[in-house]
Structures are given as C-alpha cells and as structure tokens.
Amino acid sequence: MGRCHSMTDTTSSTTRYRRHIQTQTTITPRDLLPNQLRQAYIDTNNDLLRLRQETTHEHNSETFGNSMQQKHHDSIRLVGQNIGCLGVRSFGNQKQDHGKEWLISNSVDICCWQELGISLHMLNHQDRIQERLRDYRWSKLRISASNNKHESIDKLQFGGTLTMAFNSTASRVHASGADERGLGRWTWLLFEGNNSYRTRVISAYVPCKTPLHRDATVYQQQARVLTSLGISTCPRTLMIQELTDDIQRWQQNGENIVLFIDCNENLNKNGPVQRALTTDKCQLIDPVRHKFKNYVAPPTYQRNNSFPIDSVFVSRRLRHITKGGWLRFGEGIGDHRAIFIDIPSHILLGEDKFIIPPPQVRRLKCEDPRIVQKFNDLLESQYKQHHVLQRIEQLNRTFHIPLLPHEINELEKLDNISTFAVKYSDKRCRKLHMGQVPFSDTTKRAGSVINLWKLVIRKKLRCNVSSKLIKNLASQLGIKKPMDVPFDECKQRRNEAYKEYNKIKKDAKVHCRKMQDKIADEYVAQGHEIKASIVKSMKLKEE
C-alpha cells in the first residue's frame, strides 16, 4: 500500500516502537482506522470499487506486453494482483463477485492475490474464504490463504495473501502452505506432475515501512509481533531474507518457482528486494520484462505515476512464456495492475500424472430406512433453525421481476444455508466403520462401553474431556452416573468391557447377519421388496 521506502534495519525504530506500545497496550478497531474508512472496507467495498473504476479513465494505462486474449488449450494461465482488500462481508460483496466473474471469463487457472485485507481466523464457518470463493462453474478449487494470526483486533486486517487453483489444474496440487511465522507474508501451492516434476507458485507481499502511529499498516502489525518475539530486525529485511531462504531451499530440491509479489520498491532500479530475488541466491527472472525489454515498464500502482512495484519472477526453466503482460488499470479488482503469464502445460507442470481417483464413500444409503429417516430429521432441524421455509414463503409473496438486489441477496443466503444443511445432515446420518470387524449394533455397543470408561478414567485424571460427552454416551448405553464410580472400579469395568468386546468379536459375522435381517424386516414392512432379495443385495455390497 503506497509508496515504498528504503529497506533499513534500524534498532532505534524498534526501540521507539517499544515505547509506543507501552503507552497503548490495547489496540481497538477505532485506533486502527477512522470509522468511515473502516466501514467502507467492512461493508462490501462497492464504493471503493466504483471509485477505482472512475479514476481509471484519468490514467494513461495502456497494457504493457500482451493483452489477455483467448488462451491456448495447452497453456496454463497464471494471474497475480494486489487487490487492496476483498471486503469483510461475504454476502452482497460486489468486489468479490466481480473478481470471480473476471477470473472465470478470462480462463484463469492459477491466481495469486496480495492484500486480502481479512482476518481469516476470526471468520465464521460460512464466511470462510473457501466458502465465499466457491462457484459452480469451477469443478475443483484449491486455496491457500493466510493472514497475521497473532492479532485478533478486528475482522478487517490489512495484508494477507492468497494462492488458488481451479478445475483440472487444482487436481495437480500436491501440497499447500504459508509463511511459517503466521504473518500472512506469503502463501503457496505445490503442483506435481509425472516423475515428481514439481512447480511451486507463491503469492507474496512486502510491507511498506510506515510511521509508528499508523497501527493498522502491515509493517506495524509485523513489527508488533516480531518485537513480542524479541526480534529487532526490520520486518521488510526479515521477510526477504526468510522468503529467499525458502526459495533457495525449494530450488535445491529440484522445484520450479513462480513468484507473484508486491515488492513496494522501484523495480526500474535494482533495489534490495529485486536484487535478492534475481542475483545468485535465487536467480529468478521477470519473464514479462525479459520478453519486452526494449520497452519502459510503466507504474503498476494507480496512485503512483512514477515506477512499477509489482511483478512476477520465475525460474530460468520457465522464462519462455507464450504470452505475458501487465494489464491496464481497471482490469481485475484492485488499484494495482493485474499481471498475467501463459506457460505451456508441459513446461509448468510436466506430463500428466496418471491417477485413478478412488470412489467416494456415501454416508446416506437410501436402501436403509433408518439412515434415511435420520438424514431427513437432521435436515428438517436445520431448516427450522434458520427459518428457511418461512423465508421462502415471504420471498415468494413479495418478489419482483427483475429481482431487486436485496431479494438476490436473500436467495443467495437461502441457497448457502440449504447447501450447508445437506452437508451437515449427510455427515451425521451415518458413521463410517471401516475396520476388519464386521459391523453390527452389538459390536458397536460393546465398543462404546469401552470408550465410555476410558473417557471417565481420563476425566478423573484431569484430562481435557467433555462432561457433556460422557453424560450423553452414558445415557445412550443406559449406564447411570459413571462419574460417581470410584477410580479403581472404573479401571475394573474398563477391563471387563474389553473382555466382553473380545467375546462378541468372535461372533461378529453372526451379529452382522442378524442386523441385516433386522434392516430387511424394516424395509419389507414398508412394502418395498421381498426380504431375501434385500439381504442378498446387502451382502453383495459388503463383499
């Protein structure tokens, strides 16, 4: 964010910072930003997006390099951009929706965003970045996102990075990760092809050096955390040192590197950040500026008319890109230029890795009426909890054609609630038992008795065990007040439970057949099929 300052490691600034935090030990959201500016980020960023689109016409912002045209079918398209905060709210977020549309319409395979602007660890389940960026037009989505996890002041938190892959490219992800210090300085996805051919794609953000009184900035966030750890090194210096150390280690392991980074320094000069990435230590190359080296690189930040601060760096093996460019301002969703490169698939990812996907186990079994009934009960309870039917009826009575923005927003919420409810019910309607012992209600109960007494013993030893869990399990088994049983007697009952389980285990197949007969009787009682065909069908599936 903003103009870059020189990278200097000054202990005196850290000393001044320590004096500063002594006078302000507790930082509140109001201390970070004025209410009006903070609310603009928290709402949806709609006003900020509109303002940036209007100011786009005031700039001479021609594309540097290739324009983003139709992608070759055998190329992988990678895009990076500093988006200047995505917006905290997940519903009705115009910037977020525009970002997904832009990625899909331009056939982007891998995307790297800097300055996500969200305190991810403070979000509710339904607001998680994986949920809010999901779209039915992507068959598969893999995301690695990170932010400063050491502070929980506000859901709005400047900084943070994200790396994501879509569709068939996402299926090639071997691993994901982020800055090990938990500061959100960089994230990565590791792609693997045939014969262990690996490429690591990284999204990184180098903070601007800012004054002590600007508590919300990424630099001051990192300074607070590092000071608490007894580290006096400048956050910029430490980040580049640790990032280049990691890149060097990954390259020594035979990996290719693609790094989208906001350097926050003048890239027309050989500054400390660019020098650390392109010299002997990492030996990375900027493929776009390498391809168009006869042209002067324009500024990449909309409020900086002087020099570029964003770029992409790749390993020498990947430098021969088919297309690449710094797009004009207004493309994407940030006030920085979006940067893209197209690399042939066999160069970036190697040959296709032949993998046979294993079949997915389904918990909901429609031929078992007990499981179907439990699924329906769970689904109905979720609908009642969120008043889904009443909200649908209300919307049905009052909707307009075309739909108004608040009606579209309500439909989106109902759809997300319904999706979550189905997943919730499916996960809890049946437990998966994949051991070597044939499953039955009898063996399950014997195992639960062992589990109960083990939990009671751990609780008496002052381990972290839920009292409610013990109470519910005891109620299901019909055992009264297990916590009142003396400790030595608990051990004795646990040993007796093990003996009983081993005894039942010997006849596990018999108990399994009895359970199948019971299920078949319940199914026949509903007037579906004859008992023999049902039992035969269940036995064939188990074999």
Percent of the chain with pLDDT over 70: 83
Tell me the pLDDT band of 354, cut-offs 50, 70 and 90. low
User: How many angstroms separate the CA atoms of 125 and 502, rounded?
Assistant: 41
User: How many angstroms separate the CA atoms of 279 and 451, rounded?
Assistant: 59
Q: Residue 44 above 60 pLDDT?
A: no
**pLDDT at 257 (0 to 100):** 92
The answer to pTM > 0.85 is: no
Tell me the pLDDT band of 72, cut-offs 50, 70 and 90. confident
Percent of the chain with pLDDT over 90: 30
Of 30-34, 113-117, 223-227, 285-289, least confident by mean pLDDT is 30-34
**pLDDT at 231 (0 to 100):** 87
Q: Residue 189 above 90 pLDDT?
A: yes
Tell me the pLDDT band of 145, cut-offs 50, 70 and 90. very high
User: How many angstroms separate the CA atoms of 154 and 156, rounded?
Assistant: 5
Q: Which helix (H) or strand (E) holds 245?
A: helix 235-252
Which range, 26-35, 145-154, 199-208, has the best average confidence (pLDDT)? 199-208
pLDDT digits (tens, 9 = 90+) for 253-278: 889 999 999 988 888 888 889 888 98
337 conformational bin, left if phi > 0, alpha if psi -120 to 50, beta if neither:
beta
Q: For residue 80, which of 334, 252, 391, 444 has the smallest C-alpha distance?
A: 334
- CA 178, 25, 127, 426 torsion: positive or negative? positive
* Arithmetic mean of pLDDT over the chain: 82
Tell me the pLDDT band of 59, cut-offs 50, 70 and 90. very low
Pair of tokens at residue 523: 């199914």
Cβ burial 483-511 (10 Å sphere, 16+ → b, else e): eebeeeebeebbeebbeebeebbeebeeb
Tell me the pLDDT band of 21, cut-offs 50, 70 and 90. very low
Tell me the mean pLDDT in the region 407-414: 90
Of 40-44, 413-417, 490-494, least confident by mean pLDDT is 40-44
**pLDDT at 489 (0 to 100):** 92
**pLDDT at 41 (0 to 100):** 60
| Residue whose pair of structure tokens reads 């009264």 in the numeric block | 480
Q: Residue 290 above 80 pLDDT?
A: yes
Residue with the bigger pLDDT between 17 and 313: it is 313
Pairing of strands 141-146, 75-82: unpaired
Tell me the pLDDT band of 74, cut-offs 50, 70 and 90. confident
Tell me the mean pLDDT in the region 30-40: 58
Q: Residue 240 above 70 pLDDT?
A: yes
pLDDT digits (tens, 9 = 90+) for 196-235: 789 999 999 999 888 887 878 888 888 888 888 888 889 9
**pLDDT at 31 (0 to 100):** 58
**pLDDT at 188 (0 to 100):** 93
Q: Residue 1 above 60 pLDDT?
A: no
Tell me the mean pLDDT in the region 37-62: 54
φ/ψ (deg, to 5) at 206: -95, 120
User: How many angstroms separate the CA atoms of 134 and 140, rounded?
Assistant: 9
pLDDT digits (tens, 9 = 90+) for 80-126: 999 888 888 877 788 888 889 999 999 899 999 999 888 888 888 77
Tell me the mean pLDDT in the region 357-383: 84
Which range, 82-86, 328-332, 378-382, has the best average confidence (pLDDT)? 378-382
pLDDT digits (tens, 9 = 90+) for 441-455: 888 899 999 999 999
φ/ψ (deg, to 5) at 389: -65, -40
Of 13-17, 164-168, 483-487, least confident by mean pLDDT is 13-17
Tell me the mean pLDDT in the region 143-159: 88
| Pair 243, 204: CB distance under 8 Å | yes
Cβ partners under 8 Å of residue 5, min gap 6: 208, 209
pLDDT digits (tens, 9 = 90+) for 178-187: 998 889 899 9
Q: For residue 274, which of 307, 306, 296, 303 has the smallest C-alpha distance?
A: 307
pLDDT digits (tens, 9 = 90+) for 517-534: 777 777 667 666 565 566
User: How many angstroms separate the CA atoms of 213 and 23, rounded?
Assistant: 12
Name the residue ranges covered by the structural domains of the chain: 36-348, 369-425, 441-542
Residue with the bigger pLDDT between 330 and 247: it is 247
**pLDDT at 5 (0 to 100):** 41
**pLDDT at 312 (0 to 100):** 92
Tell me the mean pLDDT in the region 311-331: 89
Residue with the bigger pLDDT between 538 and 344: it is 344
CATH superfamily for domain 36-348: Endonuclease/exonuclease/phosphatase (3.60.10.10)
